[in-house]
């Protein structure tokens, strides 16, 4: 009788114990792990487990961005390093240009982020026209681009269709309307959101209104929900304005009427000449003084003019002196 009842009981208990043992061993609950561990700790499992980069801390930095656009960068970091040596400070933002149809320069973005900065992309819709982008017929490309951006999981600033208020680009005032521009912008933004590329800082970047005073900026504004930074393209030329206020003031006045997003001088340089040193002083001084301006991106490429700072020793000396200020440049947060 004992044998009849005890032995099956033993067998049952043993098998249950074995099963429960398996349960303890095999009972990994990734969500429970995620709730406990610091986010970085979970990266060991798979790269997909890494949380998406949150760009929020980058939107209103305490210090000023110090950006630069260089030939050969960011696919290679050598020009950046050379420039850093020239001016005595490492830039934390590197500009790049991407024509519509080009793939996203994921390697460049990772290079720069690995070096402590972020990539600034000017996305130039030369070809199919903004109406094509707006109507969704370019979605395959946009999705692919967005997915590539999402997968890099590093912060990227994207300025689509910059200088839209000028007439010199195909997406400018000549061939398209502000409504189409806004529609295209929002559409791209929506696709990026659907794909989940949340690591993008959206930069709405008009040219300074000075050469095109009749073009109002407000109709081009996609809305606060679609833009993170206002970028202003404004070069210091021999014949143009020579104070921070006169160069950027009229544009900012218009913009202040519809948004209070932070402002980046997203493309600037000073034309070689006698006033170059003063221009540099005015630019850096203005950026540092204005709390709404979060930095500038220096166009250091010879194109139509020699915009490189090293082409003018005096201006370079002034640049080196001013950029040494601790307010310029900072390491972009790692996560």
Give the whole-angstrom CA distance, residue 189 versus residue 142. 10
* Cα 274 off chain centre by: 33
Closest distance of CB 186 from another protein, Å: 7
195/297 with CB nearer another protein: 195
Q: Does 195 bind another protein (CB under 8 A)?
A: yes
Closest distance of CB 4 from another protein, Å: 8
Q: Does 30 bind another protein (CB under 8 A)?
A: yes
175/224 with CB nearer another protein: 224
Choosing from 102, 194, 245, 256, the residue that interacts with another protein (CB under 8 A) is 194
56/167 with CB nearer another protein: 56
Residues 19, 120 contacting (CB under 8 angstroms): no
Task: Name the burial class of residue 276, with classes exposed (0-12), middle (13-18) and buried (19+) by CB atoms within 10 angstroms of its CB.
Answer: buried
Closest distance of CB 193 from another protein, Å: 5
The sign of the CA dihedral 107, 170, 130, 159 is positive
Q: Does 54 bind another protein (CB under 8 A)?
A: yes
Return all residues near 21 (Cβ < 8 A) that are at least 6 apart: none
Residues in the chain: 335
Residue position matching structure tokens 């989940």: 196
Closest distance of CB 16 from another protein, Å: 5
Closest distance of CB 120 from another protein, Å: 20
21/313 with CB nearer another protein: 21
Give the whole-angstrom CA distance, residue 150 versus residue 106. 10
Q: What are the φ and ψ backbone dihedral angles of 317, each rounded to 5 degrees? A: -60, -40
Choosing from 34, 84, 106, 278, the residue that interacts with another protein (CB under 8 A) is 34
Residues 302, 66 contacting (CB under 8 angstroms): no
Choosing from 31, 140, 214, 326, the residue that interacts with another protein (CB under 8 A) is 31
Q: Tell me which residues in 224-253 interact with another protein (CB under 8 A).
A: 224-226
Q: Does 10 bind another protein (CB under 8 A)?
A: no
Which residue, 155, 92, 153, 163, is CA-closest to 124?
163
Longest dimension (CA), the chain: 111
Which residue, 105, 113, 44, is CA-closest to 72?
105
Q: Does 12 bind another protein (CB under 8 A)?
A: yes
66: left (phi over 0), alpha (psi -120 to 50) or beta: beta
How many residues touch another protein (CB under 8 A)?
Answer: 43
46/289 with CB nearer another protein: 46
Residue position matching structure tokens 């402002």: 263
Q: Tell me which residues in 207-226 interact with another protein (CB under 8 A).
A: 223-226
Q: Does 257 bind another protein (CB under 8 A)?
A: no
Q: Does 2 bind another protein (CB under 8 A)?
A: no
Give the whole-angstrom CA distance, residue 41 versus residue 35. 11
Choosing from 103, 136, 196, 219, the residue that interacts with another protein (CB under 8 A) is 196
E strand or H helix at 330: none
Annotate each residue in 143-182 with x if it binds another protein (CB under 8 A) or - if it does not, as one string. Answer: -------x--------------------------------
Closest distance of CB 12 from another protein, Å: 7
Give the whole-angstrom CA distance, residue 251 versus residue 286. 15
Choosing from 76, 110, 148, 193, the residue that interacts with another protein (CB under 8 A) is 193
Task: Report the interface residues with another protein, using CB under 8 A.
Answer: 8, 11-12, 15-16, 19-20, 22-24, 26-37, 39, 42, 46, 48-49, 51-52, 54, 56, 150, 186, 190, 193-196, 198, 223-226
């Amino acid at each position: 009788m004992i044998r009849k009842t005890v032995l099956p009981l033993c067998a049952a208990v043993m098998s249950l114990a074995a099963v429960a043992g398996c349960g303890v061993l095999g009972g990994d609950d990734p969500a429970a792990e995620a709730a406990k561990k610091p986010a970085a700790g979970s990266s060991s499992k798979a790269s997909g487990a890494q949380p998406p980069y949150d760009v929020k801390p980058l939107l209103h930095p305490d210090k000023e961005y110090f950006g630069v656009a260089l030939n050969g960068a960011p696919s290679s970091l050598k020009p950046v390093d050379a420039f850093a040596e020239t001016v005595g400070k490492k830039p934390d933002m590197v500009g790049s240009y991407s024509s519509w149809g080009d793939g996203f320069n994921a390697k460049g973005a990772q290079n720069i982020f690995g070096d402590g900065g972020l990539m600034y992309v000017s996305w130039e819709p030369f070809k199919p026209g903004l109406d094509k982008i707006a109507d969704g017929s370019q979605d395959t490309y946009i999705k692919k681009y967005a997915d590539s951006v999402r997968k890099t999981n590093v912060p990227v600033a994207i300025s689509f269709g910059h200088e839209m208020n000028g007439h010199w680009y195909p997406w400018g005032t000549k061939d398209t309307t502000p409504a189409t521009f806004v529609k295209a912008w929002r559409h791209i933004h929506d696709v990026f959101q659907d794909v989940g590329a949340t690591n993008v800082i959206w930069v709405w970047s008009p040219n300074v209104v000075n050469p095109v005073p009749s073009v109002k900026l407000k109709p081009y504004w996609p809305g606060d929900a679609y833009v993170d930074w206002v970028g202003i393209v404004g070069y210091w030329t021999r014949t143009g304005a020579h104070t921070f206020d006169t160069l950027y003031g009229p544009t900012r006045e218009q913009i202040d009427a519809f948004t209070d997003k932070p402002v980046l001088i997203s493309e600037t340089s000073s034309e070689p000449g006698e006033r170059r040193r003063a221009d540099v002083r005015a630019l850096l001084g203005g950026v540092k003084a204005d709390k709404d301006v979060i930095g500038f991106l220096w166009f250091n490429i010879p194109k139509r003019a020699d915009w490189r700072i090293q082409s003018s020793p005096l201006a370079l000396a002034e640049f080196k002196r001013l950029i040494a200020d601790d307010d310029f440049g900072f390491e972009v947060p790692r996560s």
